[in-house]
Structure 1
Amino acid sequence: MTEPTAEPTTPRVVMPYGDTTGDGMVQISFTLPMAHSKVAEGSAIQLANKMGMDPALLVHAKPMGPDFTFFVVYGRVNHVVDPSRVVVVERDYPLLSPKEVNAAVKRSLRRRLTVVGACIGTDAHTVGIDAILNIKGFAGEKGLEYYRELKVVNLGAQVSVPQLVDRAQAEKADAVLVSQVVTQRDAHLLNTREMSAAFREAYPAERRPLLIVGGPRFDEAMADELGVDRVFSRGTTPGEVASFIAHRLAPAPTPRKVAS
């Protein structure tokens, strides 16, 4: 009988791949507030060197108006990555079909579950919230409007936090979904903290709706820091959001133990 192979004790590290395995080659792009010139190109190389790229090759430079230049630099870095030390947020709930979500809500709540969604602050980008809520959905999945047992209220863009709280109260929302795409000066983080604080002030703890935020620049590990129940990042599908809501608000019954 073959003995099981022991797992290696040394962490497996990886380096970027460019032309050959482990050569450490990477490509970065950035903009400098300088008119395009030889000095600007030299400044781009200097920046890449300070970022640890050596050698660094300037492969593209394009003026962006009279006072800015966009650069692409290709070069080698010596940093390694240890995947065993990477911390990620794994999905800790089952992925359900629309039929299963509907059944769970009907069984647990005996009424429709109300979801209110919006883009808050000055954010006018509704593509994210629409992808999750609208029936057309995203990535081949129908949005939450497709779910028979979910009542969806999409408030659209540029909704103030007080307006969101008022509408959530009026609709007796069970869950509130907020999408944030605009991220200049960490606006998505500031808006989310303001939103979560407002809901905690407006609701008793046991009656507060489930607070969910999403957007391409969010770190999924920041839920506690931001005061929300879940953070979804880029690539999230309607099914993942619906399954999480069902998991938290309409959980499956715990199997009863049968006496022996």
Structure 2
Amino acid sequence: MSAHIVRPYGDTTGDGMVQLSFTLPLPHDKRAEGAALQLARRMGLDPALLVHAKAMGPDFTFFVVYGSTTHLVDVDDVHVVEREYPLLSAKDANLSIKRQLRRKLVVVGACIGTDAHTVGIDAILNIKGFAGEKGLEYYREVRVVNLGAQVLVPDLVARARAEKADAVLVSQVVTQKDAHIHNTTQMSAAFREAYPAGQVPILVAGGPRFEEGSEAALGVDRIFGRGTTPGEVASYLVHEMTRRKAKTS
């Protein structure tokens, strides 16, 4: 097999073994187990083995299946979004902000809609930070306004205008029925309606279920996924601030 063509690894190299979990809207019985195996086979697992089945109430069953996938991956066809800006230390970020703005960079952050999961936004904004990096509150030249959870979009826009925000960070963890997509799209549209063209703050959305490269569809400037550190966000804000300043000068 070519070094650029790969299969998953289970027991031996290239055996294609994978494990999947999913729920079907069927009560747990032999028919439901057969349906789970049929689904697994249609997904490219052959043979497919049922290793776990558990009733989730009277009408649903949770399954875990294990099997060898028939699909291959061509690594040369894998496209990823590369970071186009350097990672800065807190010292360098502060110096850049001070030199270019001659004031503090104002960042407003919130969890919007009904999302009450503040762990992500707090990891980026709070001084305690994440993954050994201190949050944006630690940066001397950044002023952070953390609005917390379940913030309505009109309230977020109003507060951003009142604070004269340079950047707005929103976190979305709840993804049922694509709530994160709807909320973020609504948020970006509201900012573009409330601000004159070219004066919209830097809009950043973060969460574990956003698709890389979906910024244009969502109307935001940047998407950050799971594992993002405060330093990455700070470096991006400096990069985008610099780009905008150069564009208007």
The 8 Å contact of residues 109 and 250 in structure 1, kept in 2 or not, is answered as: no
Other structure's SS at 1:145 match: helix
1:100 aligns with 2:59: no
Does residue 1:237 correspond to 2:229, yes or no? yes
Aligned to 1:14: 6
Report the equivalent of 1:160.
152
Could you tell me which amino acid in structure 1 is paired with residue 144 of structure 2?
V
**Aligned-residue CA RMSD (Å):** 1.5
2:129 is aligned with 1:111: no
Q: Secondary structure at the residue paired with 2:13?
A: coil
Q: Which amino acid letter does the alignment assign opposite residue 226 of structure 1?
A: L
Deviation at 1:57, TM superposition (A): 0.4
Separation in 1, partners of 2:125, 2:204: 13
CA shift, 1:220, in A, is 2.0
Q: Equivalent residue for 1:138?
A: 130
Unaligned runs of 5+ in 2: none
Partner of 1:258: none
Question: Once superposed, which parts of structure 1, at least 4 consecutive aligned residues long, lie more than 3 Å away?
Answer: none
- TM-score, scaled relative to structure 1: 0.91
Which letter does structure 2 place at the counterpart of 1:80?
L
Letter in 2 for 1:199: F
- Structure with larger Rg: 1
Q: 1:151 aligns with which of 143, 163, 184?
A: 143
* Distance (Å, rounded) in 2 between the aligned partners of 1:220 and 1:154: 25
What percent identity do the matched residue pairs reach? 72
Structure 1 residue 126: deviation in Å? 0.7
| Residue number among 42, 56, 63 corresponding to 1:64 in the alignment | 56
2:191 corresponds to 1:199: yes
The 8 Å contact of residues 119 and 179 in structure 1, kept in 2 or not, is answered as yes
Question: Per the alignment, in what secondary structure is the counterpart of residue 12 of structure 2?
Answer: coil
Tell me how far 1:205 sits from its aligned partner. 2.1
Verify the 8 A CA contact 1:11 1:84 in the aligned structure 2. no
Letter of the 2:229 partner, please give it: T
Partner SS, residue 219 of structure 1: coil
Is the Cα–Cα contact under 8 Å of residues 220 and 230 in structure 1 kept in the other structure?
A: no
What's the CA shift for 1:206?
A: 2.1
2:39 & 2:144 partners in 1: Cα distance?
48
Structure 1 residue 250, shift from structure 2 partner:
4.0
Deviation by residue 1:76-125 (Cα, 9 ceiling, x = unmatched): 11111112111211110010011111111111100000000001111111
* TM-score calculated relative to the size of structure 2: 0.94
Q: What one-letter code is carried by the residue in structure 1 that aligns with 2:126?
A: N
Higher strand share: 2
* 2:239 matched residue in structure 1: 247
Number of the residue aligned with 2:208: 216
Partner of 2:29: 37
Amino acid at match of 1:161: V
SS at match of 1:129: helix
Q: Which moved more, 1:60-69 or 1:92-101?
A: 60-69
Which residue of the partner structure matches residue 176 of structure 1? 168
Q: 2:179 aligns with which of 179, 183, 187?
A: 187
1:109 and 1:196 mapped to 2: Cα distance? 24
Q: Deviations over 1:176-213 (max 9, x none)?
A: 00101111111111111111111111111221100000
Q: Equivalents in 1 of 2:134, 2:95: separation in Å?
A: 17
User: In the alignment, does 2:249 pair up with 1:227?
Assistant: no
CA distance in 2 between partners of 1:32 and 1:237 (Å): 36
Deviation sequence 1:29-50 (CA, Å, 0-9, x none): 0011222222221111111111
